[in-house]
Amino acid sequence: MGPVVTAGRVMTPAPITLVEHVKKSGRPDADDLAVLLTQIAVAGKIIARELARAALVGQLGTTGETNVQGETVKKLDVWANAVVVRAMEETGLVTTVVSEEMDAPLRLTKTGARGRYVVCFDPVDGSSNLDVNGIVGTIFSIRHGSDAEQPGTAQVAAGYIMYGPSTLMVLTTGDGVDGFTLGPTIGEFVRSHHRIRIPARGRIYSVNEGNFSKWEPGVQRYVEYLRGMDRATGRPYTARYVGSLVADLHRTLLEGGIYLYPADAGKSDGKLRLQYEAAPMGFIAEQAGGSASTGRERIMTIEPATPHQRVPLVIGSSEDVALAEDFIAGRRR
């Protein structure tokens, strides 16, 4: 939200913290959500601080291990995972956590009778950016109960923390999308983006085009279409790719356009994980007026079969996603 001009004076919007924003929603579970989000926020602050000094305290580089997904594990992946798990455990409200960095869902025994939420998260999204001081994020998704495998439509809240020039949390609790910037000197997440809406159509596409020759023909034709020249449809589109879903989705949310991580010859289900990447981002995109699809079906209604299930992801402005689906289905060529 930009500055407000009143009677010739420029005023900044009235400050409201993340916690007050959630409490003011008036929902019956507002107090629970305030506790969960306060603890996610504190994990985010601790992670932001560690990222800022990682090169000075030997926290860059890999552990030498490979995770359950067959990916190289960075030191900060493991460290940040422990921070988020412990922050969730301390709420007393979380029965189960599902993380990219843990082979299986973890039952939090300390929780006891108050436990009524499952939290799925990606502690460090975009870890390939860690060693080059690039943008990374934390993605989270909150559902009721203790069942680790629930569809995106069961989400109570979802969001991400983006560690960029500023640290920013973007959140939906099912009533639109808001952004909260961490005030570095006050240590509070304060609402800076009220009711984010994604434009119906954009002019930017975001995809790892190095995989072009491995994509199915419909995806290839769609990306070739975006690169074509036509003033009426705003083409060619501009290409942007950070390689952190958080950063690429955040730009898409604010400026419009499309992000794709399609299936390819080596990855029949794409790369991104349903529970803690695609579903939370899908919830956010839809709540901002956009769409999230595999290219063939809506992300939010997919029933997960396993905690680390992967799905192709096509997400962003609703008109751009619809057109991508037309190309993938062969309705457009």
User: Which residues of this protein are in contact with ligand AHG, per CB under 6 A?
Assistant: 71, 100, 122, 125-128, 208, 243-245, 248, 261, 271
Chain-centre distance of CA 218, in angstroms?
26
Closest CA to 331 of 233, 225, 258: 225
The mark string for 261-280 relative to Mn ion (x by CB under 5 A, - otherwise) is --------------------
Q: Output the smallest distance, CB 160 to Mn ion, in A.
A: 10
Question: Nearer Cβ to ligand AHG, position 21 or 308?
Answer: 308
**Whether 307 contacts 105, CB under 8 Å:** yes
> Cα-Cα-Cα-Cα dihedral of 63, 244, 43, 302, to 10°?
-100
Q: Output the smallest distance, CB 168 to ligand AHG, in A.
A: 16
Q: Which amino acid would we find at residue 73?
A: V
Q: Output the smallest distance, CB 272 to ligand AHG, in A.
A: 6
Q: Does 248 bind Mn ion (CB under 5 A)?
A: no
**Tokens encoding 87:** 């922050």
Question: Nearer Cβ to ligand AHG, position 33 or 313?
Answer: 313
Q: Output the smallest distance, CB 323 to ligand AHG, in A.
A: 21
**Which residue has the closest beta carbon to Mn ion?**
125
Question: Nearer Cβ to ligand AHG, position 92 or 243?
Answer: 243
Interface residue with Mn ion among 81, 93, 105, 122 (CB under 5 A) is 122
**Whether 220 contacts 324, CB under 8 Å:** no
Q: What are the CA-CA distances from residue 5 to residues 2, 13, 16, 122, 196 (Å)?
A: 9, 10, 19, 40, 20
254: left (phi over 0), alpha (psi -120 to 50) or beta: alpha
Segment interacting with Mn ion (CB under 5 A) among 115-123, 172-180, 250-258, 305-313: 115-123
Q: Does 286 bind Mn ion (CB under 5 A)?
A: no
**Whether 259 contacts 249, CB under 8 Å:** yes
Closest CA to 149 of 38, 309, 326: 309
User: 106 — phi, psi (to 5°)?
Assistant: -105, 125
Q: Output the smallest distance, CB 262 to ligand AHG, in A.
A: 11
Question: Nearer Cβ to ligand AHG, position 19 or 263?
Answer: 263
> For residues 300 and 279, what is the distance between their CA atoms, to the nearest angstrom?
6
Question: Nearer Cβ to ligand AHG, position 61 or 184?
Answer: 61
Residues of this chain, 41-100, that bind Mn ion according to CB under 5 A: 100
Interface residue with Mn ion among 125, 149, 286, 325 (CB under 5 A) is 125
Give the binding site for Mn ion (CB under 5 A).
Answer: 100, 122, 124-125
